[in-house]
Chain A
Amino acid sequence: MKNHGDEIREKERQWKDETVSRALKKYPYLKESPSRFFTPLDRGENYDFLEKVGFPGEYPFTAGTYPFDPTAGLSRLAAKVPAGSAHTRAALYSGYGAPEDTRDYYRNLIQKGGRQGPNLAMDLPTQCGYDSDNPLVEGEVGKVGVSIDTLRDLEIIYEPYQGDLNLDRIASNFTINAPAIYLMAMYAALAEKRNIPLNKLRATPQNDILKEYVARGTYIFPPDPAMRLFRDTLIFLNKQMPNVNITSIGGYHIREAGANRKQDLAYSMAIAIAYLREGVSAGLDIDEFAPRFTFNAFGGSMEFLQEIAFQRAARRMYARILKENFGAKDPRSMIIRQPITAHIGPSDTTIQRPLNNLTRAVIGAVAGALSGGTGAPFPPYDEPLGLGWSLEAQQLMQDAGRIITCEARLLDVEDPFAGSYCMEYLTNEIEGEALDELDKVQQMGGAVAAIESGYMQKQVAGSAYEHQKKVAAGDVQVVGVNCFTGENELEVETTRLVPHPYDPDKRSRAEQLQIASLKEVKQARDNREVKRLLMELEQKARKPDEALAPHLVACAKAYVSIQEVCDVFRDVFGEYDPPSIL
């Protein structure tokens, strides 16, 4: 074999000196070959298939989290299922206005045959721990998601979920981070009031607070106490709600905030490690809770081959961290569970000639299908045109995914690039870069320390700026934006005819309605009990080892509002003040 390697090396040198050089003479504007060719040498010394790749669904999971994708086999079956009744367990990310509006939206989905639990988008006041009646949040109630102030609001939203769609029969998703502990307490309270045992509940809270400091920004408290809330949530869910996922980690947000691939992977891993350590330091065995860590998604980009490599590297890196650093034995602790693999980022879409975004999304979806995921041509092409997607754009997105599965049959082979000289090289490359950056963060004291010092934030903002400068200079080409913009190009416009699924009248009335509802709740509840519960909460919050979640379930049942809880924490923990980025 060694002789063969030397032979290839010699042959490669000859190829460059003779064949490539000769070709370059014909193109005087090229100083070197604009493309690369990979050989067995690029896979690294002593490439060991079982060590580097292995079989799909087996350690180190490079080839895939699962042995196969069931949607590949279901494609014919799926085609027979009536529209609107997808077989995923949670609905699309949704929610708007007052709880009544979101309830009606879900009721309508159920009437059309939907069987999925809510996948709740919450408005920014809820995410930031403010009540709807706070003057600070005027104009934001019910925007970007539904408003949740008290348990009453969750009760309203879940009205359509009864009988065979009761809480023990559905799975819910909550995009909530800083006050996640209270949202989960509310969900527990809702279940207990319906006499449903907590261990029957299935849900996924996003509960990924650390990335909020790096991207997205819905933090409330400083990272340290935020991690205490994370630990409390982890312990509570682990013990009381063992079928509820603990976190859904999102490198996606960090990448969309400007991070490059290396930063996305390194920081996602650093954040996961910080969360895992909370469970370990609480005295839990890693295999008791790690299987319920999930990933929301990593980021994506238009760079097709590199994004496939990224997914392979991410799976291998996480598996090795769990096995080697945390001593996990259960393979379920070592896998990255995520709804999609490679994809493009919404920040890759352009407002110019927006139908091109469908082409872009399809390229991302093909990368997804070839990297152990379903082909998800996300986002819909009209993503940058305004808030909310048209139904046409969503239909085309779905169809593109179906075409990838049913016509192109891209899910028929697992990890088709396994063993490819190029792909193994790119996988090693991104893994190596991310490991170096992860080491750097760990030497600073881990994710929390790297966030407190502002390191991660500055790195990500710096990458965002570098990217923007490259776009401005034309070093990164974006079709229709910084190239191919001449007079002879046709600026293809699109119409968005189908009305938005959310009722605009309801949207405009939501804030007033919700403020009135909250007022009613605050009058009708036992306010002496509320005061007592809040005082007790403060005492418990001041003791770092006190478990807060059980008490918060009692608060939820007494209709204590989200701001009342968060204000106690604000008093005890303080509020986060971000370091300067300039």
Chain B
Amino acid sequence: MEKTIRVLVSKIGLDGHDRGAKVIAYGLRDAGFEVIFMGVRQTPERIVNTAVQEDVKVIGLSILSGAHIPLVKKLMEKLKLAGCEDVVVLVGGVIPESDKPALKEMGVSEVFTSGTHIHQVVDAIRRHVKV
């Protein structure tokens, strides 16, 4: 039997708009993943620490404040330092089309904007996580 994939879903930075993050957390839970939901106002440090402790394969970040570039950059650096480069990072939120290449370059696997279906996120996880 396939081992349950652990996914960490979190907001990052100070932005408190968490509807998307909560819906994704519920959706991934119901799709059979083990979800660790961290909620709002998390720092890159805390997210990476939790990711290590909980041995997650995926980190899903939700950002709607426009601060995605510096925040994701910081998180990717911390992940690298923690030796977790194989953790799949997904970003969702209000991300202008023009910022997507920069996020991908930093190592983000997929960027999801409004209108995304949960199955698209589920598919992305199954595609990127090698079990």
Chain A contact residues, CB within 8 Å of chain B: 124-125, 127-128, 130, 136-140, 143-144, 212, 215-219, 256-258, 347, 350-352, 384-387, 461, 464-465, 468-469, 471-472, 481, 578, 580-582
Contact = CB atoms under 8 A, between A and B. Distances in A.
B115 A581 contact: no
A350 B115 CA distance: 7
A143 B66 contact: yes
A313 to B, nearest CB: 24
B104 interface: no
Interface in B1-49: 11, 13-19, 22-23, 25-27, 29, 35, 37, 39-41, 43
A139 B23 contact: no
Given A218-B16, A350-B114, A582-B35, A138 B25 contact: no
A92 to B, nearest CB: 18
Contacts of B70: 138-139
Given A140-B67, A143-B65, A385-B96, 15 more contacts: A124-B14, A137-B14, A138-B70, A138-B74, A144-B66, A212-B16, A215-B19, A217-B18, A350-B114, A351-B113, A386-B96, A461-B23, A469-B27, A578-B39, A580-B37
Contacts of A215: 17, 19
A398 to B, nearest CB: 23
A351 B115 contact: yes
B17 A217 contact: yes
Contact of B115 (A137, A257, A481): A481
9 contacts: A140-B67, A144-B66, A218-B16, A219-B16, A387-B94, A461-B19, A461-B22, A465-B26, A481-B115
Contacts of B18: 217, 257
B95 to A, nearest CB: 8
B119 interface: yes
B71 interface: yes
B123 to A, nearest CB: 13
Nearest to B36: A582
Q: Which 9 A-B pairs have the closest CB atoms?
A: A217-B16, A139-B70, A124-B14, A386-B96, A461-B22, A465-B26, A217-B40, A387-B66, A139-B67
Contacts of B118: 468, 472
A578 B118 CA distance: 25
B115 A216 contact: no
A352 B119 CA distance: 18
Contacts of B23: 258, 461, 464-465, 468
Contacts of A144: 15, 65-66
B16 A125 contact: no
Given A138-B70, A144-B66, A350-B114, A125 B14 contact: yes
A472 B117 contact: yes
A387 B67 contact: no
Interface in B57-106: 65-67, 69-71, 74, 94, 96-97
A140 B65 contact: yes
Contacts of A219: 16
A581 B22 contact: yes
Nearest to A138: B70
A578 B114 CA distance: 25
A114 B39 CA distance: 41
Contacts of B16: 212, 216-219
Contacts of A127: 14
A257 B19 contact: yes
